[in-house]
Amino acid sequence: MSVLIFIDQTDGHIKKASLEALSYGAKIAEQTGDVAEGVVLSKTNEDLASLGEYGIKKIHQVDNDQLQQFDAQVYTKIIAQVADATGAKVIVFSNNSSGKSLAPRVAVRLKAGLISGAVALPDTSSGFTVKKNVFSGKAFATVSVNTEIKVISLNVNSYTIAAVGGTAEVIPFNATTEAPKVKVISSSKTLGSISLTEAEVVVSAGRGLKGPENWAMVEELATSLGAALACSRPVADSNWRPHNEHVGQTGVAIAPNLYIAVGISGAIQHLAGVNRSKVIVVINKDGEAPFFKAADYGIVGDAFEIIPKFTQAVKKLKGIA
């Protein structure tokens, strides 16, 4: 029996979210006395054997040029084949964009119970119960799964990557693949050195910044912190910032370790996309702004005075000129 973990990648690089899923899956295997195994589709630029560092013993690699382009239907069928072959009873995905499309499909195919958005290890002492986020991260639910096979998608930044040492055996897997039903003709990538969904620190700004010409100071703060940039929806709607930076209910949902919100009121639709952040810092000149209720730390004051001082303090701390 195995706990099978899907190893997600972009342009041949394993995503940080996958390392979390590997650590999580390896810990489940330790709890249930099973073997943790990974599945990776297509080639990678990384040394797969070194992923044994996170506690997995084997990695099944389906090396097929057709799989370079992500296709949820094609991937689902292959993951189900690997799950069958390895006798997987728990299959773990990261709850990122690929995991969100794969986990339910794999669950249907394997007639498995699905827990999406898990935030903690399952309790396997009696049955199989898992804590998960509900209502866009505003509440938790503990759910019990009774099916023989369980599919779990783990919320990004919910489980600490644990290096336990070891090397994984990389095994080629001969899967039956089929031609995709949908052909991607072209794709364009958003530029930006730090991916918003993978970022540990995010600096986000809203309409309180008054206009796009004032973003230089936010960018400088983000650069000094090594943070990704985000914004509220009206900022993107007004074309002050690109839409890929818009976070919230209708934008990107993120869960960084630190979220710094500058001049954002904290409307419920904004919070829905950021309230899984571990630490929230709010800077707003209105002490009654709703965001302060969700904040771990708050500064009441004018962003135009605070941000330059904040940036200087960060630079000084980091020894950046």
Ligand X SMILES: Cc1cc2nc3c(=O)[nH]c(=O)nc-3n(C[C@H](O)[C@H](O)[C@H](O)COP(=O)(O)OP(=O)(O)OC[C@H]3O[C@@H](n4cnc5c(N)ncnc54)[C@H](O)[C@@H]3O)c2cc1C
Helix/strand/coil for 20: helix
Q: Are 39 and 5 in contact (CB under 8 A)?
A: yes
| Smallest distance from ligand X to CB 40, Å | 33
Determine if 242 is a binding residue for ligand X (CB under 6 A). no
- How far apart (Å, rounded) are the C-alpha atoms in residues 181 and 233? 34
Site for ligand X in 151-180 (CB under 6 A): none
List 137, 256, 263, 298, residue binding ligand X (CB under 6 A): 263
Determine if 249 is a binding residue for ligand X (CB under 6 A). yes
Determine if 207 is a binding residue for ligand X (CB under 6 A). yes
Per-position DSSP letters for 52-99, written without gaps between them? GGGT--EEEEE--GGGGS--HHHHHHHHHHHHHHHTEEEEEEESSHHH
Query: Residue 50 corresponds to which tokens in the numbers above?
Result: 């070194």
Determine if 237 is a binding residue for ligand X (CB under 6 A). no
Residue type, 133: N
Contact letters for ligand X, residues 277-306 (x by CB under 6 A): ------xxxx--x------------xxx--
For 119-266, strand residue ranges (E) read: 129-134, 139-144, 150-154, 169-172, 201-205, 228-231, 258-262
| Smallest distance from ligand X to CB 255, Å | 15
List 18, 44, 232, 277, residue binding ligand X (CB under 6 A): 232
Determine if 238 is a binding residue for ligand X (CB under 6 A). no
| Smallest distance from ligand X to CB 273, Å | 6
Give 246's DSSP letter. Answer: B
| Smallest distance from ligand X to CB 294, Å | 13
Burial tier of 181 (Cβ tally within 10 Å: 0-12, 13-18, 19+):
exposed
List 233, 254, 280, 298, residue binding ligand X (CB under 6 A): 233
CA neighbours within 13 Å on the CB side: how many for 287? Answer: 1
- How far apart (Å, rounded) are the C-alpha atoms in residues 305 and 301? 8
| Smallest distance from ligand X to CB 101, Å | 20
Task: Output 9 or 204, the one with its CB closest to ligand X.
Answer: 204
Q: Which stretch binds ligand X (CB under 6 A): 32-40, 50-58, 82-90, 230-238?
A: 230-238
| Interface ranges with ligand X (CB under 6 A) | 206-208, 232-235, 248-251, 263-265, 267, 269-270, 273, 283-286, 289, 302-304
